Amino acid sequence: MENTQQLNQSDQAQLSTFEMALRNFDMAADLLGLDSETRSQIRVPERELTANFAVKMRDGKFRMFTGYRVQHSTARGPAKGGIRYHPDVCLDEVRALASWMTYKCAVVDIPYGGGKGGVICNPKEMNELELENLTRRYATEISYIIGPTRDIPAPDVYTNPQTMAWIMDTYSMAKGEYCPAVVTGKPLSIGGSKGRNEATARGCVEVIAEAAKHLQMDLKGARVAIQGFGNAGAISARLIHDLYDAKVIAVSDTRGAVFNEAGFDPHRAIEHKERTGSVAGLPGTEAIPAETILTLDCEILIPAALENVITPCVANSVNARIVAEAANGPTVPEADSVLDQKGVFVLPDILANAGGVTVSYFEWVQNNSGFYWSEEEVNARLKDVMVTAFEKVLLTSKKYKVSMRRAAWGVALSRVAEALKARGIYP
């Protein structure tokens, strides 16, 4: 068994991120019996933009940067997806993330396609002026293909509401009119939506609650382990503790992992990280190796950090009843069958972390209507969308006798394929 697992991991290492996304696409297409012509239309992105541009730095000199914007599909509506700033950004990764956005929007049935963007840079080494200059130059380069009815960016890794404000302002100045709907995830002062900051985590917790009902599992006292204590992970910890009295026993970030079998208050963990920069050293907990957090004995495991962390070898040691993927692509395709055989109930990423794009859609609707909702209204609408999507995926899972991941991709792909067929090809 060990040799087989090592072979699977070796094979996996040869796959690019986009090729891994295509694995799930192919399984869903097979499930639906999708014809080859429709498959070929959906399989690859509609368009890809690569931009090389100069940015003025703090020393007055110019430095060249490379940025991307990929529109995977606009069959069901404008492309939608975040922009990340990171040294490891590459076109293959952006393609994969754009395709995930297509299916994420489709599985929760909001009228968007999928897009994604990124700039190769290290924002930790840049000051605010340099980040603003970079953002405005990048926004200008992609302005030819974005727009309120064409492609709507949002924050992602190392971008935030201020980044979106700069993009919105740059685009608006070029158009000569106020265009708040060109991006989502903006500050409230310029058209952002209440509830957006918590949306990804809240959506994840809502589907965990539905999964627990389905499994007849009481969330009160349920042990929760969370890999990644950024926005999604930290807020998920707080919400599942506050709303359902679940017991958070372990959390991790890039600098360490902490554990307490009796559980600890996630509010204290959040305060500790804000004060020190890490969960490491949280009073009342013990340090554990970061890699062990995925295999702790618990009821709920929330991978909320990196892609490809649950390999077949790791999956064989997972001891959770529910795995809720708050991160994009945390489970490699070969690991799914291992989890399925173990009876682990997986809430796939395109469903579990779709709360963020759902409330981004709400923000876009509010911008276009000029009418803004209370946070209670946003949260209630989000719950309705997430519960409806979970029920549809669960029903599909039962109908075809497949995993929740294959069911979610099947639901999403069927909606994209239906839109393509209805629209036809021009000219």
Active-site residue list: 116
Tokens of 279: 């969960």
Tokens of 91: 């076109």
CA separation for the pair 404, 379 (Å, rounded): 24
CA separation for the pair 147, 157 (Å, rounded): 21
Determine if the peptide bond prior to 155 is cis (ω within 30°).
no
**E strand or H helix at 347, and its extent?**
strand 345-347
- Do 371 and 128 form a contact (C-beta atoms < 8 A)? no
Torsion of CA 200, 336, 111, 395, to 10 degrees: -100
Tokens of 404: 């929740």
- β partners of residue 154: 82
Ordered DSSP codes for 392-422: HHHHHHHHHT--HHHHHHHHHHHHHHHHHHH
Q: In what order do the strands lie in the sheet with 300-303?
A: 286-287, 256-259, 247-253, 223-227, 300-303, 322-324, 345-347
What letter represents residue 132's amino acid? E
- Do 72 and 151 form a contact (C-beta atoms < 8 A)? no
Three-state DSSP class for 213? helix
CA separation for the pair 71, 80 (Å, rounded): 8
